[in-house]
Amino acid sequence: MSPHTPRTHRSRARRSWLRRAATAGAAAGALAGLVASAPGAAAAPPAPLRSAPATHVGPAHVSPAPVRTAALAAPDIPLANVKAHLSSLQSIATANNGNRAHGRPGFKASVDYVKGKLDAAGFTTTLQQFTSSGSTGYNLIADWPGGDTGTVLMAGAHLDSVSAGAGINDNGSGSAAVLETALAVSRAALHPTKHLRFAWWGAEELGLIGSKYYVNNLPPAERSKISGYLNFDMIGSPNPGYFVYDDDPTIERTFKDYFAGLGVPTEIETEGDGRSDHAPFKNAGVPVGGLFTGAGYTKTSAQAQKWGGTAGQAFDRCYHSSCDTASNINDTALDRNSDAIAHAVWTLGTETAQPGTVFETTTDVPIPDNGAAVTSALEVTGRTGNAPSALRVSVDIKHTWRGDLSVDLLAPDGTAYPLKAAGGPDSSDDVIATYSVNASGEVANGSWKLRVQDVAAQDTGYIDSWKLTF
C-alpha cells in the first residue's frame, strides 16, 4: 500500500466499541435469512407480524429496472496454492537483493512469473509499459475470453514491493490471491456474463503510478465499460482485521454478505483510503470495492475481542520493512480473503438480469435518536393480483451506528415483514442492502411502507431512499 497519497475518507461519528459492549448485553438479531445474496440465506421468510399502519407518505416514482438473479457459486480457493505463489515471490526477492521494487530486477521477475501462469491457463495477457523515476515499469493485464465485452469486471492488486523488503504481505498477498482466483476461473472453464479482466500494477509504492497510467490512458469509451474494479492490497496481515471498502454499495454488500455467512464481523476500511490502486478508478467514476487486513494502524481492544490477535499492536508490524517476508502472513486471514475474492468475482461476474418494475422514493425521513419508529411510504399502482414470492426490498439508510436500527417492510394491510433486527455484531454504519420477502399473500397495489426505529442513544441518521422491485 502506498504511503504517499493522503487519506480522503470522510470522518465518522460513532461511539466506542467498549461502551457498546458494556451496554448491548446479550442483544441478538440477524437478517433473519432475508438477504437474498448472503451465503446460506434461508429460502422461507419469517412469519409476518401484525402491526398498526404507518403515517408518513412520501412521493415515489416507477421505472423498469433489472432484477439480479442468482449467480454461480464460487469454488474454494486452495490456501496451499496461494501460499505456493507467495513462496515463489519470496524466492524471487531473495534472488534479487531482497526486494521486488519498481525498476529492480525482482519486480520484472515477479511480472514474468505471474504472466507465465496466466498464459498457460488460457488468458490473453498484455504487458503495459510506463516510465517512473527514470525506470521502466510494467502493468500486467489479463483478459479471460468471453463475457459481455461492453461490461467489464476488473480485479487487481499491486505487484511491487518497497525497496526495503520482499513485500510478501504488501502486496504479495493480494497479488497471489488474485492470481489464484484467475487460475480458478480457468480451471472452472467459467462462462461469465461480464467480461473478466485481472490486473497486477507496477510502481504503486511510488504513488499509484501504474494504475494511474492505466486509467489515464484508457479511452473514455473503454473506461465507461468497466462496471466495477475490485482492489486487494494487504489481505494476510499477521495481526489481521477484516476491513471492507465502502465506496460502492453493491460491491460492499457482496463482501459483507460473504463474511456474514462465515460469522466474521467486518469494519469499514479507512486506513488505506486514497492510498491504493482503487483510487484512480474511483476518481474516474468507476465503482470500486475491495478488502484489507490492516497495515500500520494499531489494533484496538475491541477489535482484538472481535477478531483475535493482539491489542495495542499494529495489524502488520512489518509494514514496509525488511521483515515482510513469507513468515509475515496469517493463513486464516489469507484463506478467508482469497475465498471472498472468488465469491465476488463469481457473484458480480456471472449474475444475470431479468426485467422488472421498480417503485422508489428518495424523500429523506429523519430517524429520531432512541425514539419512536418512523415510516416512509411507496404508492404501488398499475399492478394486477398479488405481490411476488420474492419481492425485492432495497434500502439505503444513512446512520452512524447500524446496530441500533430495526427495519421492517409494512404491507398495505399493515402486515410487517422483518428485514433487520437491532443488536448483534452490527458495529458499522449505514444500512445499504437488498432483502427478499415472500409477499405473495399481499395485494400488490397500495401503500407499502418502510418502518425504521432507532432503539439506542447517541447516534443519528435518516432514511435516504428505498425501493420495491416487482
Residues β-bridged to residue 157: 200
**3-state secondary structure string across 24-47:** HCCCCCCCCCCECCCCCCCCCCCC
Q: How far is CA 470 from the centre of its chain?
A: 26
Residue 361, SS3 per DSSP = strand
174-187 and 105-120 are packed helices; what angle lies between their axes, rounded to 10 degrees? 20
- Residue 459, number of CB atoms within 10 A of its CB: 20
Residues β-bridged to residue 367: 461
454, 371 in Cβ contact below 8 A?
yes
For residue 403, what is the DSSP state? Answer: G
Among 204, 269, 351, 442, the active-site one is 204
Residue 314 to residues 2, 68, 304, 403, Cα–Cα distance (Å): 17, 40, 11, 27
Residue 259, SS3 per DSSP = helix
Rounded to whole angstroms, the Cα distance separating 218 from 213 reads: 9
180 given a catalytic annotation:
no
Specify the length of the chain in residues.
Answer: 470
The secondary structure element, H or E, covering residue 300 is: none
The residues near 297 (Cβ < 8 Å, ≥ 6 apart) are 271, 314, 315
Residues β-bridged to residue 22: none
Residue 127 to residues 86, 139, 235, 276, Cα–Cα distance (Å): 21, 6, 25, 20
Residue 290 to residues 161, 260, 279, Cα–Cα distance (Å): 19, 16, 11
Phi and psi at 236, nearest 5°, equal: -135, 30
- Looking at the annotation, which residues are catalytic? 204
